[in-house]
């Protein structure tokens, strides 16, 4: 049995950086994200293979990635061996590969291939076991993740906006988010304050989102991202995810604001920067980020929905 699902990557406005349970991947604080249309992963799961295998954009994945995929299948009660093929519709060579869209698409495709009927919350909880932020890519839109699963709190069209993503580096990041957040939790003197800040930021972000206040929400997202990086930088050894182009983009976003264009920055655990802006400002923001030395590519993304099955077959020849 075989099924294909798609899922969008998401970018958090209130970020997840710290687990309360490392084995169960439960977050210390709630997070809020929006799914992005152009960052799409398509994953096909074929059950009944002679052994488990995982290919990402045609390349065999590492043993660690395969183990994480197996953990999702095990949690779904799927014992058949699986051939998993995952393709990203965005430049992964540039380091934009997304575990969020990948594990969300995997959970949805695997359950469909196994003929399981699971609701969105169960699928979200399964995706979480691959990567925490994947829990939010299952419901898509504006998603809140508080404990075992995430749910959509507002549709993608709640607030007209664009995320202008500047690709500021290449290759895998030096410390993955799983190890990075563990290090921050164990060694950063700022970590407790960071977690408390997220607990305050979530209700405020939801209020601004419902009020349609893009400047308020953009400013909150920028503060939240910089505080997450302050926590990471305060770790021992320090976690520096930025490249020179990242800092160049931060200044470019600040200059845009000084010139009257509403744009706010957010950065995940990597070098890339996403500028939040109104759709009518996206072209100006894109041009400003393209002009920053070291920026390799710029993608303008719009809000998107959740993960979904796009194909399912149980042809005997597929077994
Ligand atoms: O899902 P993970 O384990 O890759 O963690 C994601 C962490 C951040 O991207 C930095 C923040 C977030 O909430 O997405």
pLDDT digits (tens, 9 = 90+) for 170-215: 877 789 999 999 999 999 999 999 999 999 999 999 999 999 999 9
Q: Is the pLDDT of residue 317 over 50?
A: no
> Ligand 1 pocket: which of 39, 133, 163, 233 to mutate (most atoms <8 Å of CB)?
133
Average pLDDT of the residues in 85-102: 78
Return the number of other C-beta atoms located less than 10 Å from residue 314's C-beta. 12
Q: What is the pTM of this model?
A: 0.96
Average pLDDT of the residues in 262-288: 97
pLDDT at residue 315, as a whole number: 59
pLDDT at residue 97, as a whole number: 59
Pocket of ligand 1 (CB under 6 A): 12, 15-17, 31, 99-100, 131-133, 177-178, 268-269
Residue having the nearest C-alpha atom to atom 8 of ligand 1: 268
Q: Is the pLDDT of residue 116 over 80?
A: yes
> Ligand 1 pocket: which of 26, 134, 177 to mutate (most atoms <8 Å of CB)?
177
Q: How far apart are CA 229 and CA 226, in angstroms?
A: 5
The tokens describing 78, both together, are 């799927």
Q: What is the pLDDT of residues 135-162, one digit of tens each?
A: 999 999 999 999 999 999 999 999 999 9
Atom of ligand 1 nearest to the CA of 16: 13
Q: Which run of H or of E encompasses 186?
A: helix 177-187
Span from the CA of 143 to the centroid of ligand 1 (angstroms): 14
pLDDT at residue 87, as a whole number: 95
Which position has the higher pLDDT, 94 or 41?
41
Q: What is the mean pLDDT of the chain?
A: 95
Q: Could you list the beta-strand ranges (E) of the chain.
A: 2-14, 19-21, 26-27, 31-47, 53-56, 59-60, 82-88, 142-145, 150-154, 162-167, 263-267, 273-277, 297-301, 303-304, 308-313
Q: What are phi and psi of 142, to 5 degrees?
A: -85, 115
Query: What's the start-to-end Cα distance of the chain, in Å?
Result: 6
Opening angle at CA 162, ends 212 and 275, nearest 5: 105
Average pLDDT of the residues in 264-285: 97
Q: What is the pLDDT of residues 214-233, one digit of tens each?
A: 999 999 999 999 999 999 99
Span from the CA of 242 to the centroid of ligand 1 (angstroms): 15
Residue 184, CA distances (Å) to 55, 188, 231, 275 in order: 31, 5, 6, 25
Residue 188, CA distances (Å) to 133, 181, 183, 223, 235 in order: 22, 10, 7, 18, 4
Q: What is the pLDDT of residues 53-72, one digit of tens each?
A: 999 999 999 999 999 999 99
pLDDT at residue 316, as a whole number: 40
Task: Reduce the DSSP state of residue 242 to 3 states and report it.
Answer: coil
pLDDT at residue 177, as a whole number: 92
Q: Is the pLDDT of residue 91 over 80?
A: no
DSSP bridge pairs for 150: 145
Average pLDDT of the residues in 44-48: 98
Atom of ligand 1 nearest to the CA of 270: 10
Span from the CA of 133 to the centroid of ligand 1 (angstroms): 5
> Ligand 1 pocket: which of 9, 17, 224 to mutate (most atoms <8 Å of CB)?
17
pLDDT at residue 172, as a whole number: 72
């Amino acid at each position: 049995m075989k099924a294909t699902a798609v899922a969008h990557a998401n970018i958090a406005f209130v970020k997840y950086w710290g687990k309360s349970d490392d084995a169960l991947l439960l977050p210390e604080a709630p997070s809020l994200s929006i799914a992005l249309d152009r960052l799409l992963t398509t994953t096909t799961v074929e059950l009944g293979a002679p052994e488990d295998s995982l290919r990402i954009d045609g390349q065999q994945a590492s043993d660690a990635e395969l183990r994480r995929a197996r953990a999702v299948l095990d949690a779904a009660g799927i014992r058949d061996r699986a051939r998993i093929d995952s393709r990203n519709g965005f430049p992964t060579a540039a380091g934009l590969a997304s575990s969020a869209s990948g594990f969300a698409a995997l959970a949805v495709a695997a359950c469909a291939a196994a003929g399981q009927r699971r609701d969105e919350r169960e699928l979200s909880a399964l995706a979480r076991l691959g990567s925490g932020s994947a829990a939010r890519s299952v419901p898509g839109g504006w998603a809140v993740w508080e404990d075992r699963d995430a749910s959509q709190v507002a549709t993608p069209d709640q607030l007209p906006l664009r995320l202008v993503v500047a690709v500021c580096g290449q290759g895998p990041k030096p410390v993955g988010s799983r190890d990075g957040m563990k290090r921050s939790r164990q060694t950063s003197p700022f970590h407790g304050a960071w977690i408390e800040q997220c607990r305050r930021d979530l209700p405020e972000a939801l209020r601004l989102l419902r009020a349609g206040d893009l400047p308020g929400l953009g400013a909150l997202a920028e503060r939240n991202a910089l505080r997450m990086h302050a926590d990471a930088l305060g770790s021992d050894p320090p976690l520096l995810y930025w490249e020179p182009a990242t800092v160049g983009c931060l200044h470019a976003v600040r200059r845009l604001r000084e010139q009257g264009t509403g744009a706010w920055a957010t950065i995940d655990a990597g070098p890339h920067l996403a500028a939040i802006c109104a759709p009518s400002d996206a072209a100006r923001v894109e041009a400003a980020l393209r002009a920053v030395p070291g920026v390799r590519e710029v993608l303008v993304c719009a809000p998107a929905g959740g993960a979904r099955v796009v194909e399912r077959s149980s042809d005997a020849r597929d077994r």
